[in-house]
Amino acid sequence: MKHPESFDQIDQWKSAMFLYSSALKSINTKIEILNNEYVQLYNYSPIEHITSRLKTPESIVKKLKHDRREVTIENMVEYLNDIAGVRIICSFMSDIYPIADMIARQADITVLHVKDYIKYPKSNGYKSYHMVVTIPVYLTDGKRDTKVEIQIRTIAMDFWATLEHKIAYKFEGNPPDNLETELKTCADMVTMLDAKMFSLNQAIMEIGEKQRREREERRQRAMELGEKNQP
């Protein structure tokens, strides 16, 4: 019996979303392993936390319509890059590019394109590093390279972006002028806060390093003294 077309579309939708959710699992594990290795090697975790999400059907339809494309599963797969999305939150600005490099170096990941809103922030103050990558999902009949959008930003930037996104959504992209100005002022504060937190962290690390060297010197001196005093 032949399924009605809508049943075929449901199957097509389920298969597509299965791929995206599998790609998210795969990339989350990969990023977690890389972060754990970093902790083991350098005793430092560049990633504060990771969140991931699948774009909602409403949001998919809205974006396709906004881009003036017919709402079809083929167009969704072909033209939308952020159906599977991962957000990596780090503490410091200095963590962003090393994390991006670590991901881009993975042999099975292909970087399709990058939007560097860190180097080139948006006029509203938005700062984040975006990469669209493909990661293979291995199925019984072969592999499917599946697109995932990765956003990397600091905790402070994430705080700002979450509120800004809510406001943009509430006012459908046209917030009142005063809110836009206030948000831009807050974005500048975020930039200052990130710079301050970075320099504070540098100072703390330098103190830690100095203390470590002093302890090592004391240990060395004690050993030399011990050797001298041996009968």
Q: Which residues bind ligand 0O2 (CB under 6 A)?
A: 55, 59, 63, 81-82, 115, 122, 124, 126, 130, 161, 164-165
Query: Measured from the CB atom, is 4 or 173 closer to ligand 0O2?
Result: 173
Q: Shortest gap between Cβ of 132 and ligand 0O2 (angstroms)? A: 7
Distance of CA 130 to the CA centre of its chain: 7
Query: Measured from the CB atom, is 38 or 152 closer to ligand 0O2?
Result: 152
As a residue count, the chain comes to 231
Q: Shortest gap between Cβ of 149 and ligand 0O2 (angstroms)? A: 7
**Any idea of the CA torsion for 203, 207, 212, 216, to the nearest 10 degrees?**
130
Q: Shortest gap between Cβ of 126 and ligand 0O2 (angstroms)? A: 4
CA distance 84 to 76: 12
**Looking at this protein, which amino acid is placed at residue 230?**
Q
CA distance 112 to 90: 23
- State the Rg of the chain over Cα: 24
Query: Measured from the CB atom, is 132 or 197 closer to ligand 0O2?
Result: 132
Q: Shortest gap between Cβ of 81 and ligand 0O2 (angstroms)? A: 4
